[in-house]
Amino acid sequence: MGRVTERRRVLRIRDGAVSTRPDTLVAEEPLEIRLNGKPLAITMRTPGDDFALAAGFLVSEGVLGSADELANIVYCAGATDEGINTYNVVDVRLAPGVAVPDIALERNVYTTSSCGLCGKASLDAVRTTARWSVEDPQDAPVRLEPEVLSAMPDRLREAQRVFDRTGGLHAAGLFTPEGELLDLREDVGRHNAVDKIVGRALQQGRLPLRECVLMVSGRASFELAQKAVMAGIPVLAAVSAPSSLAVDLAAESGLTLVGFLRGSSMNVYAGEHRLALRTTAGWA
């Protein structure tokens, strides 16, 4: 809603010289997600693509899997005592006939890595709620050249328009196996950026994303691996390290998980069968 960035006064010190100047900061505000009128979750996010964020979040929770299961998403008016809409509350309405799941307990299994549950419970939850397999269909196997993967971080960074102004945003990008950037979203939370990617795909009727690569800035947590699996994405690549539970989920689900993707170097933690590896030209 036009609040992606904000201006603040900053005291600047450079080589001992002190000055004041305005600085552009990325906006961060809470978003409450309601399901059929009932409060479900609150996330801190960068405003923008809020409907896609909510839809993508519900894909990762196993609530939504296709566009025809979604009736609509609306902002809730009168979110302040003054009756001014802050555009920080959205209500997701399921299509008639779509059952509203009891996710009060399910949410304890998902969300953040600090939920306190054991890894097995988290893996079991994804296994029982995932609608699609990320394994390659017989007629359209995903095959990746390492050189194509190596180019994705730079292409992701070049497309980050808000990061150029603020330096404070994560990004998620959806690529073809040939390296074409299909979509990019930015947010203060990398999980929100992924939800915005997945939510847009759901709204456009493109799930599952079986022939795509998800590239993220930062590390690859269990939560991001979960979101990839729930969207049917076969490859998750990150510029930093994965967590142990993310690797476990990738190995169990068939997800290709690549970390430390920097320049011509990368670590493949699971799903190496999708990479066209060679023993020459530095690849082994």
Give the CATH number, domain containing residue 42.
Answer: 3.10.20.10
Asked if residue 241 and residue 162 are part of one domain, the reply reads: yes
Q: Of 100, 129, 158, at which residue does a domain stop?
A: 129
**pTM, whole model, 2 decimals?**
0.85
Report how far residue 147's alpha carbon sits from residue 56's, in angstroms, rounded to the nearest whole number.
Answer: 30
Choose among 216, 226, 219: nearest CA to 252.
226
Regarding whether 158 and 120 lie in a shared domain, the answer is no
**Is the same domain home to 58 and 93?**
yes
Does 125 share its domain with 171?
A: no
Residue 103 has a pLDDT of: 63
- Token pair belonging to 278: 């060679």
- Which tops the pLDDT comparison, 169 or 82? 169
Number of domains in the chain: 2
Report the catalytic residues. Answer: 115
**How does pLDDT run across 213-264, given as a tens digit for each residue?**
999 998 999 999 999 999 999 999 999 999 999 999 999 999 999 999 998 9
For 148, 153, 157, 240, 283, the CA distances from 265, given in Å and listed in that order, are 12, 12, 17, 11, 9
Q: Which domain holds residue 243?
A: 146-274
Which pLDDT band, with edges at 50, 70 and 90, does 32 fall under?
very high
Is 284 among the domain residues?
no
Give the span between the Cα atoms of 60 and 233, in whole angstroms: 12
Does position 67 have pLDDT exceeding 60, yes or no? yes
Summarised one tens digit per residue, pLDDT across range 153-204 is 999 988 887 655 555 688 999 999 999 999 999 998 999 999 999 999 999 9
Q: Give Cβ neighbours of residue 159 (< 8 Å, ≥ 6 apart).
A: 171, 173, 181, 184
Give domain status of residue 6, yes or no.
no
